[in-house]
A and B are shown apart, each in its own frame.
Chain A
Amino acid sequence: MNLRKYLEVYNKFLHTSLASELEYKTNILIDLITAILSLIGSIFLLSIFFQNNGYIGGWKFEQALIIQAIYTILNGITNTWFNPNLTEIVKHIREGTLDFVLLKPIDSQFFISLKKINPSGILEIILGFFLLFFCIKINQINLNLSFLTLSLITISCSICILYSLWFFISTTTIWFVKTWNAIEVLRSFLYIGRFPLNSFSFSLRVFFSIFIPITFITTIPSEVFLGLSQVWKILLEVFVATVFLVTSRKFWLFALKFYSSASS
């Protein structure tokens, strides 16, 4: 893989999709307002849950706010990259425009995963980071190199798991043609990631850790921030992320053999 070429193509992707989005100024403004209101609403909802005794699953409100911050960052990444690109796969397959992607001398997964960008999602990422820095301050977290490295590793793994899950579901479109519902189910499961894993019953903890590893996505990075995480959990997250990423890649290459293109 020619890294320089891919960086240059990605630079063009950024440029063209930003230019496309900026054609519709009002739409961007509405998206920005929605992102701010959504964050305020989520924090408000979280504060209601904590009103009774101040603890859920052993987490204080200030600590749970870290999960909300990480969720906001990940949701921002979802809205910036995953949503505009991965939902488009379904459209590409239904309408047969995947033909143009497959006939380009570039990795098809790279092309369909990164071609578009939604700038309003970037505001969510920024808001998430603001909230995260606020949490670091109120929880008196000591920022050091190992803490930053572990945070970066766990958040990157979370992004990989989220991306792989979404990409895996989108790939099944090659057989099932319509998978909007499955993607909606995944998105609604993601909301669960705003709450600490310990706040769920044992059976749900197992379900959200093994079958749909949503809780890996937010809880483990949050535990790193609070210094509560154990090494085995971090290693497990790295392992899960690698398995998901490799499997989704292999599955995509396998699925392409069954691509029959849309009729003309």
Chain B
Amino acid sequence: MVQNIIDVRNLSKSFDISSKEPGLKGTIKHFFNRKTKSLKVIKDISFEIKEGEIVGFLGANGAGKTTILKMLCGLIYPSEGSILVSGHLPFRRKGNFLKNITLIMGQKQQLIWDLPPIESFYLNASIYDLDKFEAKKRIKKLSEMLEIDEELFIPVRKLSLGQRMKSELLAALIHEPNILFLDEPTLGLDINAQRNLRKFLKKYNKDTNATICLTSHYMKDITSLCERVICVHEGRISYDGKLNLLLKKLSPVKEILIVCRSEKDATRLESSGFTVKNKIKNEITLKIENNSITSSLKTILNNFDIEDLFINEPPIDEIIGKVLIKKDYDI
């Protein structure tokens, strides 16, 4: 049986936030009499994550995803509740715990800006007690997986964002952690760089059985990496479960574009009892329920002269968008 590597129980976090009225009067008031209020950003959440799982945290901006991630890796003290990560209380930041985890943030960097990434790798290696030989071996292995070579010897400031992100990943993984916390790792990357990064993470997870907790606003990151998602809405978990179940529930129909050989066939298909979205000359778009797609297609292909057909998946961003603004999803 696969063990739980992360166990979160009734976790809450509050921050003291000050607010300011607009204008000069508001500024002066804010300077002399600053009013702060306690804002509960995480509200009594509980979940477990098993070893080797890749879990996506979904939520609108400010929903609390990053705060959860930062509490899991021990950067922020929880206000209430308990967290156990790999058997450790994260906020104690014990050496053995820190050697097991890593945090990668798409918008922040740890590489030394004026030097080639290789210098930062060797610095990190000495911090993680790796000797030169072992460090060299790991750098070689990871750079092959990430497909970077010459970039290791070029100052970071001269690298493209994609090359820099790969180097950041290498710096963060040199100690071979078995829990990865990734906060929007593909932020600002082009499509190819995003794909390469996802490919790498998949392989890393497969090779090392590392657990990955990921937040991202790019749905492609979530759909291609995460089987399970945790949706966070205003500090509460609105859904925790399989991604495909959520998608099925929220989008029960698929759109099928059928190109008929003649307009006559298209007209005949239009009046055959299927739900029609639209018809333009010999092209007709039907809406068919997910559970009857195979039988419907069989009927269409047997009874109509079809030239081509396309099954359109519903835009995932739209579906997930619905989740992000709802409080609860009971699947």
Q: Which A residues contact B (CB, under 8 angstroms)? A: 2, 5, 8-9, 11-13, 15-16, 19-20, 23-24, 95-97, 99-100, 102-106, 257, 259-261, 263-264
Task: Report how far A106 CA is from B127 CA in the complex, Å.
Answer: 7
Binds A, one of B72-80, B197-205, B240-248, B303-311: B72-80
Q: Is the CB of B155 within 8 A of A23?
A: yes
Q: Is the CB of A105 within 8 A of B127?
A: yes
- What is the size, in residues, of chain B's interface with A at 8 Å between Cβ atoms? 36
Contact for B108 among A12, A13, A15, A95, CB less than 8 A: A95
Contact for B77 among A5, A95, A257, CB less than 8 A: A257
Contact flags B43-77 to A (C-beta < 8 A → 1, else 0): 00000000000000000000000100010011111
Q: Is the CB of A104 within 8 A of B105?
A: no
Residues of A within 8 A of B155 (CB): 23
**Quick check: is B289 within 8 A (CB to CB) of the other chain?**
no
Check A105/B75 contact, CB under 8 A, given A13-B123, A264-B183. no
The residue on A at minimum CB distance from B183 is A264
Supply 18 A–B pairs (Cβ within 8 Å), ascending by A: A5-B126, A9-B123, A13-B123, A19-B115, A20-B115, A99-B108, A102-B74, A103-B73, A103-B75, A103-B98, A103-B101, A104-B124, A104-B127, A105-B98, A105-B128, A260-B76, A261-B70, A263-B66
Task: Report how far A159 CA is from B285 CA in the complex, Å.
Answer: 78
Q: Is the CB of A103 within 8 A of B15?
A: no
Q: Is the CB of A99 within 8 A of B115?
A: no
Residues of B within 8 A of A100 (CB): 103, 108, 110
Which 4 residue pairs are nearest across A and B when measured between Cβ atoms?
A100-B110, A105-B98, A105-B95, A20-B114
**Quick check: is B327 within 8 A (CB to CB) of the other chain?**
no
The residue on B at minimum CB distance from A11 is B126
The residue on A at minimum CB distance from B187 is A264
Task: Report how far A2 CA is from B124 CA in the complex, Å.
Answer: 16
Q: Is the CB of A264 within 8 A of B184?
A: yes
CB A91 to nearest CB in B, in angstroms, measures 12
Task: Find residues 195-239 in chain B having any chain A CB closer than 8 Å to their own CB.
Answer: none
Q: Is the CB of B76 within 8 A of A264?
A: no
Give me 12 other A-B pairs in contact (C-beta within 8 A), A103-B93, A104-B98, A104-B127 excluded. Answer: A2-B129, A9-B123, A16-B123, A19-B115, A24-B114, A97-B110, A103-B103, A104-B124, A105-B99, A105-B129, A260-B15, A264-B184
Q: Is the CB of B119 within 8 A of A261?
A: no
Contact for A264 among B77, B107, B112, B123, CB less than 8 A: B107
Residues of B within 8 A of A260 (CB): 15, 76
Residues of A within 8 A of B109 (CB): 97
**Quick check: is B102 within 8 A (CB to CB) of the other chain?**
yes
The residue on A at minimum CB distance from B131 is A8
Task: Report how far A16 CA is from B109 CA in the complex, Å.
Answer: 16
Residues of B within 8 A of A257 (CB): 77
Q: Is the CB of A99 within 8 A of B105?
A: yes
Contact flags B157-199 to A (C-beta < 8 A → 1, else 0): 0000000000000000000000000011000000000000000
CB A35 to nearest CB in B, in angstroms, measures 22
CB A182 to nearest CB in B, in angstroms, measures 17
Residues of B within 8 A of A102 (CB): 74-75, 93
The residue on B at minimum CB distance from A23 is B114
Q: Is the CB of B112 within 8 A of A259?
A: no
Q: Is the CB of A5 within 8 A of B183?
A: no
Max chain B C-beta neighbours (<10 A), residue from A20, A95, A257: A20
Q: Is the CB of A16 within 8 A of B105?
A: no
Task: Report how far A244 CA is from B107 CA in the complex, Å.
Answer: 37
Residues of A within 8 A of B102 (CB): 103
CB B328 to nearest CB in A, in angstroms, measures 26
CB B114 to nearest CB in A, in angstroms, measures 4
Q: Is the CB of A16 within 8 A of B119?
A: yes
Residues of B within 8 A of A95 (CB): 108
The residue on B at minimum CB distance from A95 is B108
Q: Is the CB of B119 within 8 A of A19?
A: yes
CB A241 to nearest CB in B, in angstroms, measures 28
Q: Is the CB of B74 within 8 A of A103?
A: yes
CB B216 to nearest CB in A, in angstroms, measures 12
Task: Report how far A261 CA is from B108 CA in the complex, Å.
Answer: 12
Residues of A within 8 A of B107 (CB): 264
Q: Is the CB of A99 within 8 A of B70?
A: yes
Q: Is the CB of B184 within 8 A of A5?
A: no
Residues of A within 8 A of B75 (CB): 99, 102-103, 259, 261
Task: Report how far A220 CA is from B302 CA in the complex, Å.
Answer: 102
Residues of A within 8 A of B114 (CB): 19-20, 23-24
